[in-house]
Amino acid sequence: MLRRYAILSHDEVNAYVAATLKQEYVTSALVGKTKLHLGALPTTDINYNTTTTYKGISTPNPSVFP
């Protein structure tokens, strides 16, 4: 199911992105479940439960991230 959300405040999104990227490391999580349908094959249940960690910009350029 595709869901669309309206961004109510671009300033708040920008502040969140700037605060996140200022961290030395950023971790995001993907958690959920779905069903995989492929033609006449039986339906397969898929469970997601994983995290990804990537390096942020711990010393950003002040002119880019005030």
20 backbone dihedrals φ, ψ, rounded to 5°:
-65, -45
Question: What local confidence, expressed as pLDDT, does residue 45 receive?
Answer: 94
For the chain, give every domain's residue range.
Answer: 24-58
What's the rounded Cα separation, in Å, for the pair 44 and 2? 20
Question: What local confidence, expressed as pLDDT, does residue 51 receive?
Answer: 94
- State mean pLDDT over 7-28: 87
Given pLDDT bands bounded at 50, 70 and 90, which one contains residue 24? confident
2 vs 14, more confident: 14
28 pLDDT more than 80 = yes
Question: What local confidence, expressed as pLDDT, does residue 61 receive?
Answer: 60
- State mean pLDDT over 43-55: 92
